[in-house]
């Protein structure tokens, strides 16, 4: 299946809405985006919170260990904890910045 994900210079972005906010952020990811060969890293822009960048190979390793939904098309939901540096409960190398602090984004 061909991915329709927008991947620019190897990076895919997901805006995580404020209603999924907290010290731990809840999100998901289309399986086709994760399998796309162009994908090198995923950027999760947490509304009124940090931006987290995770390497695609790390996500490919751990997301299949968790849940899927939407007729098996989406990995997740899974949690991202920038402070503990975990994704779905697994310790993960990541870059955490406060560059994109949106105010109650309706993403």
Smallest Cα–Cα separation from 43: which of 53, 34, 30, 57?
A: 53
Mean pLDDT of the chain: 87
Say what the pLDDT of residue 106 is: 37
Say what the pLDDT of residue 100 is: 53
CA distance 65 to 19: 25
- pLDDT digits over 41-86, tens only? 999 998 878 999 999 999 999 999 999 999 999 999 999 999 999 9
Instruction: Compute the average pLDDT of residues 78-106.
Output: 81
Rounded to the nearest 5 degrees, what angle is found at the Cα of 74, between the Cα atoms of 68 and 79?
70
How many helices (H) and strands (E) the chain has is answered by 2, 10
Domain borders along the chain are: 7-96
Q: Which residues pair with 97 in a beta bridge?
A: 51
Largest CA distance in the chain: 36
Residue 98 confidence class, pLDDT cut points 50, 70, 90: confident
Whole-model pTM: value is 0.84
């Amino acid at each position: 299946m061909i991915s329709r994900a927008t991947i620019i210079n190897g990076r895919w972005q997901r805006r995580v809405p404020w209603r999924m906010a907290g010290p731990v952020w809840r999100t998901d990811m289309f399986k086709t985006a994760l399998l796309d060969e162009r994908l090198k890293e995923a950027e999760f822009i947490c509304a009124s919170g940090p931006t987290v960048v995770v390497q695609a190979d790390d996500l490919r390793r751990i997301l299949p260990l968790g849940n899927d939904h939407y007729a098996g098309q989406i990995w997740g939901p899974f949690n991202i904890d920038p402070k503990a540096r975990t994704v779905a409960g697994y310790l993960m190398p990541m870059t955490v910045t406060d560059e994109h602090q949106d105010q109650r984004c309706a993403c």
